[in-house]
Structure 1
Amino acid sequence: MVRVTTTNRRGALRVGAGLVAGGALAAGCGAAGQDAPPAAATSGSAPPARASGQPAATSHSAPAPRTYAGQPAQITHGPRTRPQVALTFHGQGDPDLAESLLSTAEQRGARLTVLAVGSWLDEHPALARRILDGGHDLGNHTQRHISVNAMAEPEAAKEITDCAERLERLTGSIGTWFRPSRSPTASPMVARLARAAGYPHVLSYDVDSLDYTRPGADAITRKVLADVRDGSVVSLHFGYPDTVAAVPAVLHELDRRGLRAVTTTELLS
């Protein structure tokens, strides 16, 4: 197992930043569709309070990205031989809903993977530490949640490295995983840019909850439980009340089936 050093990570960020020299930012957010974002949280909202009974912050840093031998460049699931699953959340939206999901998971002994949007962390920087202190994975879901696969190379590189730089500033690490915005998989160019920024693997998924379509909590629960199996990586989102309502039932049924909800890092270790 190869660990990327802090020096290498920072060098990779400089490489990615060099690709964007002179490049203009892409304008606006793409049309709604796959992975459509929830309504934006109010800018300047106070960071969510820690739920009573939770442990005090311990200033954890996210581990460096790692290369997983035998895993493809784009990972869709973990080993099918162990009763574990990874619930992965696209990190943006109302911070109170995020806090509710994190607290629900922790109370039930589950750990999540959060792929954070950089602009969301700009508005709610305390959530980066909150996620790590709860024992969850924290990763990169681009800076502005624009369709990164459709962008020119300099702008796509900037979307990845800008979010990575925010993660490193807030936590001491660029985060454990990268997932492209507005697509379940990365284009070859985006996968290459992610590697240059220090992410050896792109984290995709094999179970799509479709919660971003707002089908209701029961439909989200049915979809996840119909498709999940040993080793699954499930795509969910912060920012949707229906997702918050569905998670307790999902966790209850996973527990009944003997499936543990673990971080992606644990799933693949």
Structure 2
Amino acid sequence: MSIARVVNGEEAVPHSWPWQVSMQVRLISPLPYAHNCGGSLIHEEWILTAAHCFMLSLNKPSNWRMCLGKHHMNSSMDVPSAEKCFKVDGIIRHEGFVYEQDKSDIANDIALVHLAERVSMTREISPVCLPKPGVVMPAGTPCFVTGWGDEKGSLFPKVAEKLNQATLPIIDFQTCSKPAYWWDVLRPSMICAGYESPDELKSACQGDSGGPFSCAAGGTGKAWEVHGIVSFGARGCIKDKKPSVFTRVSAFSDWIDHNMKKFIYESGKTI
């Protein structure tokens, strides 16, 4: 199992996913920031992402910045007025987060990031909707994974130069929890999506972690909801009967609501 790029996706239309975040980290001040994970803007002060992005020494808010309005990873190639980066003053990782690599076990892979200042919405920067609590999208629903993760599933992954996207159909839990698939690693609080055969060669991968799995609300295409958070997949990212796995956002609606309110109350700020 590999903690999660978009493999063999296509370049996204610039700024067509305006909630997409490039979460960038630096451990030592003189060094430049580097893209580490993706995220979703869900509120003018909040980013939704994966808990595993903050393992080890990556749990200090001061080490991070959240960049919105990006398309090219090299900022000099983007429209200067489109991109904005924000400092972080809070990271809330799910208290039940589990990652045991030797057991291929990962659970409650969800986190919230609080921005030090509010985002001013623009054409290039706007939030995505959250799904209704408990909703489970039907099997076969085509949703989109987006990110700057490695594009080839290589042994030494590298960040993509441009934001990529790929359509991945949802696979029902009963199928994806079979022994030939993800077996007991898969939990009801996860979404399994992608292609059962490696011939179709599309998946999320390293560098996409924490990023959005976006579905059209009500199938209309007029509004979008973030139904999943890129969590894990097969090593090398493409493997027979090992589709991408996402944290199911609708399983954590209460957790999201409670922790946003708790943070604001304890910090003395107002929503």
Q: TM-score, normalised by structure 1?
A: 0.26
Higher RCO, Cα 8 Å, sep 6+: 1
The structure whose residues are more often strand, as a share, is 2
